[in-house]
Amino acid sequence: MTGPGDRLHRATRGPMAGTVDQLDAPFWSTPRELVEHMLDLAGVGATDRLIDLGCGDGRIVIAAARRGAESLGIDVDPCRIAEAEAGARAAGLENRAHFRTEDLFETSLDGASVVTLYLVPLTNWLLGYRLQRELVPGSRVVSHAFPIVGWPADEEHVVEGRHVYLWRVPAEADRPAPAPIPFGTPA
């Protein structure tokens, strides 16, 4: 990651960030019905390339692959990646659903048309500027539970008491300025 938020980004995450010892978000699985709603909201289909940052057990990636999308799941926990790969094999989708053990902040977003998130507010905020800068206009970002501070959602749905947010990456001239620090200044 490069840009004006780098120093803050590194200071906020700490020296062990992006390792199994310091996760950027805990593993909480998204209910399967909500996975389908997220993919419907983003209009995921066969022409999409989806990246799920913090993929956990891989259920979003596998569901997107079922729709024909080329899908990549990123998680720092190798046990979660092994579980996700086993799920893709069991579904017969290992040629469309791919997984990597990697720090989600180091993952290239090049070519992604859809990015999915189920992270925590601070992690979403830290990713927000990067998503706007690296994704091409028209790309979609879908988050379960938490918004991206400073980036107004294009749509917000509540499904069985759970929030789902959708953003469409605007043209460069229409992108919001990076949001101020939402939780105070890191030491």
Chain Cα centroid distance, residue 103? 12
Adjacent-strand bridge partners of 49: 70
pLDDT value for 4: 41
CATH number at residue 70: 3.40.50.150
Residue 10 lies in a domain: no
Residue 12 lies in a domain: no
In angstroms, the CA 165 to CA 144 distance is 7
pLDDT value for 25: 60
Q: Which range marks the domain in which residue 106 is found?
A: 28-174
Residue 21 lies in a domain: no
Q: How many distinct structural domains can be found in the chain?
A: 1
**Residue 23 CB partners (closer than 8 Å, separation 6+):** 76, 77
Burial class from Cβ neighbours inside 10 Å (0-12, 13-18, 19+) for residue 10 reads middle
Residue 169 lies in a domain: yes
Residue 185 lies in a domain: no
Residue 16 lies in a domain: no
Consecutive 10-residue averages of pLDDT for the chain (187 residues): 47 51 65 96 98 96 98 95 98 98 91 95 88 93 94 95 95 63 48
pLDDT value for 135: 95
Residue 66 lies in a domain: yes
pLDDT value for 13: 54
Residue 134 lies in a domain: yes
The amino acid at 143: S
* DSSP label at residue 175: P
pLDDT value for 11: 55
